[in-house]
C-alpha cells in the first residue's frame, strides 16, 4: 500500500519521534546520508507561491544524493490549460519517485495522493494544513526546549487561515501536559473544526484571548503567524486586521527569559526585525530544521514504499 503524508495525523507520534531522531542524526552525520537517494527523483509541484518549503524540499533531496524535477508556477504548467490535479499526479508518477505538492485548494494534496502511484507529501493545501512545517516546528521546540511535553504554547495572529497552526495543534495534542493559549482577533479565531475536533476532543487545556501582552508572561513558546492576505475575500478586512499583532522588543520584555519565539515565515510585520538578534528568536532555526525533517520524511516514505532500504539511526 502506497504511503503518503497529507495530514500530520498520517504519522503516529512514534513515527514523528523517529523522524526527529533521524533528523538529529542527519545534523550530526550528514555524510552518512549523502548518497542514500542516488538515482531517485523528487518532483516539487507548487501551484501556489513558496520560498522555504519548495527550496528546502529540493535542498533536502540534493543533500540525500537524489535529483529534483520542479514545477514552480502553475501558470507555466498544463494546469493553466485546464489539466486536473489527478491527471497531473498520474503524469508525474511516470517521471519521479516522490511528490511534494502545494496547492491553494484544501484537499488538493489528498486528490493527488489518491491518483498518484508514488508517495505524495502535502506541502500546504489552502487554509487546511501544512504537516511538514509542523515537523520543522516540532524539531525546533525539541531542540530549543529539550522536550515536546509540559509546555505552554501561545499561537498568535491569523488562527483562522493559518494552516501551520492547525497542524501544530493537532501534533501537540499527542504530547503530555500541553497548554494552548490562542491569541487572535475575534474574526481570526481558530476554526471550529480544529477547536472542537482537536482541542475539545483531546481535552487539551486551552485559553482564548485577544491580548498578547496578557498572555506573554505565561508562555514557553510564542508562535507568531502572518495574517494570510491571500485567503481573504475582501481587502478592507485584510487591511483592518493585518497589523493586529506586532511583536517588539518592548513587548517581548514581558516574556520569560527562556520563552522561544517562532514563526513559520514569511514574516510581514508581525515580528520587529529588532528581535532577530534576541537569543529567543528561533524562526530562522525553524527554516533549517525544516530541511532536516524533510530529509527524514523523504527517507521514510521512500523506504516505506520499498524504493530505498530502511534507514536506521
Ligand atoms: N513556511 C512556509 O510554508 O514558507 P513558504 O510559503 O515560503 O514555503
Question: Which has the closest alpha carbon to 133: 124, 146, 145?
Answer: 124
Among residues 20, 40, 44, 52, which one is catalytic? Answer: 52
Average pLDDT, 10 consecutive residues per value, the chain (313 residues) = 93 97 98 98 97 98 98 92 97 98 97 98 94 98 97 97 94 97 95 96 97 98 92 84 92 98 96 98 98 98 96 91
**Strand ranges inside the chain, DSSP E:** 41-46, 67-71, 98-103, 120-125, 151-156, 178-183, 205-209, 221-224, 260-262
pLDDT of residue 234: 87
Among residues 40, 130, 294, 300, which one is catalytic? Answer: 130
d(CA 4, CA 194): 22
For cell 487539551, name the residue. Answer: 204
Tell me whether domains 8-129+287-304 and 131-283 share a fold: yes
Q: What is the pLDDT of residues 30-61, one digit of tens each?
A: 999 999 999 999 999 999 999 999 999 999 99
Q: What is the grid cell recorded at 23?
A: 533528523
Q: What is the grid cell recorded at 68?
A: 529534483
State whether the beta carbon of 264 lies less than 6 angstroms from ligand 1: yes
Domain boundaries, the chain: 8-129+287-304, 131-283
Cβ burial 280-307 (10 Å sphere, 16+ → b, else e): bbbbebbbebbbbbbbbbbbbbbbbbee
Query: Which strand (E) or helix (H) includes residue 167?
Result: helix 163-172
- Report how far apart the first and last C-alpha atoms of the chain are (Å, whole number): 25
- pTM equals 0.96
Contact between 168 and 154 under an 8 Å Cβ cutoff? The reply is: no
d(CA 232, CA 39): 42
Neighbours of 149 (CB within 10 A): 11
CATH topology for 131-283 is: Rossmann fold (3.40.50)
Give the ligand 1 atom nearest the CA of 265. Answer: 1
Contact between 179 and 142 under an 8 Å Cβ cutoff? The reply is: no
Using alpha carbons only, give the angle 47, 49, 55 rounded to the nearest 5 degrees. 100
Q: What is the pLDDT of residues 154-202, one digit of tens each?
A: 999 999 998 999 999 999 999 999 999 999 999 999 999 999 999 999 9
pLDDT of residue 241: 81
Among residues 40, 54, 102, 160, which one is catalytic? Answer: 102
State whether the beta carbon of 51 lies less than 6 angstroms from ligand 1: yes
Considering only CA atoms, which residue is closest to atom 5 of ligand 1?
50
State whether the beta carbon of 56 lies less than 6 angstroms from ligand 1: no
CA distances from 24 to 12, 30, 174 (A): 18, 10, 21
d(CA 40, CA 111): 23
| Architecture of the CATH domain 8-129+287-304 | 3-Layer(aba) Sandwich (3.40)
pLDDT of residue 301: 98
Q: What is the grid cell recorded at 195?
A: 477547536
* Catalytic residue flag (residue 130): yes
Amino acid at each position: 500500500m502506497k504511503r503518503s503524508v497529507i495530514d500530520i495525523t498520517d504519522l503516529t507520534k512514534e513515527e514523528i519521534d523517529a523522524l526527529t531522531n533521524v533528523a538529529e542524526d542527519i545534523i550530526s552525520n550528514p555524510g552518512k546520508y549523502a548518497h542514500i537517494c542516488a538515482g531517485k527523483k523528487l518532483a516539487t509541484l507548487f501551484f501556489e507561491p513558496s520560498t522555504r518549503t519548495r527550496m528546502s524540499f529540493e535542498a533536502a533531496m540534493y543533500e540525500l544524493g537524489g535529483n529534483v524535477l520542479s514545477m514552480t508556477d502553475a501558470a507555466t504548467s498544463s494546469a493553466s490549460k485546464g489539466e486536473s490535479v489527478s491527471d497531473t499526479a498520474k503524469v508525474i508518477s511516470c517521471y519521479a519517485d516522490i511528490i511534494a505538492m502545494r496547492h491553494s485548494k484544501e484537499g488538493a494534496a489528498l486528490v493527488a495522493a489518491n491518483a498518484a502511484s508514488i508517495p505524495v507529501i502535502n506541502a500546504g493545501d489552502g487554509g487546511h494544513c501544512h504537516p511538514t512545517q509542523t515537523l520543522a516546528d516540532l524539531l525546533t521546540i525539541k531542540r530549543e526546549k529539550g522536550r515536546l511535553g509540559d509546555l505552554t504554547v501561545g499561537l498568535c495572529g491569523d488562527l483562522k487561515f493559518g494552516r501551520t497552526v492547525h497542524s501544530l495543534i493537532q501534533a501537540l495534542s499527542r504530547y503530555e501536559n500541553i497548554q494552548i493559549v490562542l491569541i487572535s482577533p475575534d474574526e481570526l479565531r481558530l476554526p471550529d473544526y480544529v477547536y472542537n475536533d482537536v482541542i475539545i476532543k483531546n481535552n487539551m487545556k486551552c485559553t482564548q484571548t485577544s491580548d498578547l501582552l496578557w498572555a506573554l508572561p505565561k508562555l514557553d513558546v510564542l508562535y507568531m503567524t502572518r495574517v494570510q492576505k491571500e485567503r481573504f475575500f475582501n481587502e478592507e478586512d485584510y487591511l483592518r486586521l493585518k497589523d493586529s499583532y506586532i511583536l517588539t522588543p518592548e513587548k517581548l520584555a514581558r516574556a520569560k527569559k527562556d520563552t522561544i519565539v517562532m514563526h513559520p515565515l514569511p514574516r510581514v510585520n508581525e515580528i520587529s526585525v529588532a528581535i532577530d538578534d534576541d537569543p529567543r528568536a528561533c524562526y530562522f532555526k525553524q527554516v533549517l530544521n525544516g530541511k532536516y525533517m524533510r530529509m527524514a520524511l523523504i527517507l521514510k516514505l521512500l523506504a516505506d514504499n520499498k524504493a530505498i532500504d530502511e534507514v536506521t539511526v
